[in-house]
């Protein structure tokens, strides 16, 4: 492990990576371009076999950087938990190595924070090939809302102590670890708020470059469903099983979609089927 910077920052950003050096460079560049300086970055290198270790050991960004090298693969949840355990910031947020923060992300979240929310999220831009769409999120997301599906996304901004309080990421899940953590945070500390401004770019990765296999992805979401099933209504359970079936490319009729989906979700479901 190597560390630069000694002062306690306001925000900790954790990044986990494995064998995706070109993507990692882009992610760290987006952190270098932030419009605030009051943050640290913890990168956990999950036993990469390319030149990631050498790059990180010689990297000299403008922000305080801590690098943790796993000598053997631990997986993303365990790697994130290592970073969370070492975080010095009052607030914490994550960045996937294949995504980017927009320049005002950290400052905007810091300025908007209120303890009334369990966590903050924001709209994001999703890039798939030459197509970019904006994900406009629900502004107030309750635990009941979240039990239908992950309405928050893959990253949040919250108090570091709250993440530690609920136990961090569940290392037993093969996927949906972020969704599971948001469910526990919102269940413990109240609704999540989202900001009506894009603050992150999500690059949809083709199947050949995904870290999580489709089999592990489907199983992980089913594990998450089983973990939270007792808190769900019959409609929430039906919604989860419907989404898992669709993710497995099983045939789903329009009636099955609508009958397992709240009326408020119907417009988006119909638009998705018509794409």
pLDDT of residue 252: 55
Domain check: are 124 and 251 in the same one? no
On the 0-12 / 13-18 / 19+ scale of CB atoms within 10 A, 34 is buried
Count up the domains in the chain and report the number: 2
State whether 213 and 241 are in the same domain: no
Residues 254 and 133 in one domain: no
> Residues of 209-235 as b/e, b for ≥16 C-beta within 10 angstroms?
eebbeeeebbbbbbbbbebbeeebeee
134 and 88, same domain (yes or no):
yes
Nearest-CA neighbor of 41 among 77, 5, 69, 78?
A: 5
- Residues 145, 233: Cα–Cα separation, whole Å: 11
pLDDT (0 to 100) of residue 172: 96
Say whether both 22 and 72 belong to one domain: yes
Assess whether 26 and 14 both reside in one domain. yes
Asked if residue 121 lies in contact with residue 192, where contact means CB atoms within 8 angstroms, the answer is yes
Q: Is residue 156 domain-shared with residue 261, that is, in the same domain?
A: no
pLDDT at 246: 75
The dihedrals phi and psi of 158, each to the nearest 5 degrees, come to -155, 180
| Residue of 60, 65, 80 whose CA lies nearest to 18 | 80
Q: How far apart are CA 15 and CA 252, in angstroms?
A: 36
The DSSP 8-state label assigned to residue 209 in this structure reads G
Whether residue 81 is found in the same domain as residue 70: yes
Q: Is the domain of 238 the same as that of 121? A: no
Q: What is the CATH number of the domain that holds 221?
A: 3.90.550.10
Q: What is the pLDDT of residue 242?
A: 82
Structure tokens at 132: 């970019």
Say yes or no: 121 and 9 in one domain. yes
Residue 28's pLDDT is what?
A: 98
Find the radius of gyration of the CA atoms of the chain.
Answer: 19
Same domain as 252, residue 223: no
pLDDT score, position 274: 53
Res 256: pLDDT: 59
Q: What pLDDT was estimated at residue 269?
A: 59
Task: Please tell me whether residues 208 and 252 are part of one structural domain.
Answer: no
Q: Which two tokens stand for residue 50?
A: 């390319």
Residues lower than pLDDT 70 in the chain: 1-6, 206-215, 248-275
Range of the structural domain that residue 49 is part of: 2-232
């Amino acid at each position: 492990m190597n560390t630069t910077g000694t002062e306690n920052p306001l925000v900790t950003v954790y990044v986990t990576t494995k064998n995706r050096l070109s993507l990692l460079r882009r992610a760290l560049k987006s952190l270098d371009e932030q419009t605030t300086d009051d943050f640290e970055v913890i990168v956990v290198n999950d036993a990469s076999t390319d030149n990631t270790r050498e790059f990180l050991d010689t990297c000299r960004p403008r922000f305080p950087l801590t690098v943790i090298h796993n000598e053997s693969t631990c997986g993303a949840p365990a790697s994130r938990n290592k970073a969370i355990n070492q975080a010095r910031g009052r607030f914490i947020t994550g960045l996937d190595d294949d995504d980017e923060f927009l320049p005002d992300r950290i400052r905007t979240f810091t300025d908007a924070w209120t303890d009334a929310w369990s966590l903050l999220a924001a709209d994001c831009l999703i890039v798939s090939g030459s197509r970019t769409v904006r994900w406009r999120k629900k502004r107030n997301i309750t635990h009941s809302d979240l039990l239908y599906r992950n309405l928050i996304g893959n990253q949040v901004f919250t108090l570091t102590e709250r993440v530690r309080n609920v136990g961090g990421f569940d290392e037993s899940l093969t996927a949906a670890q972020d969704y599971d953590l948001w469910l526990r945070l919102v269940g413990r500390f109240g609704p999540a708020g989202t900001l009506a401004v894009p603050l992150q770019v999500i690059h949809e990765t083709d199947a050949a470059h995904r870290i999580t296999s489709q089999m592990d992805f489907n199983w992980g979401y089913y594990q998450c469903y089983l973990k939270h099933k007792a808190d769900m209504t019959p409609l929430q359970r039906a919604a989860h099983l419907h989404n898992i079936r669709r993710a497995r490319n099983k045939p789903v009729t329009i009636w099955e979609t609508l009958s397992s989906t709240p009326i408020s979700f119907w417009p988006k479901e119909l638009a998705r089927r018509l794409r």
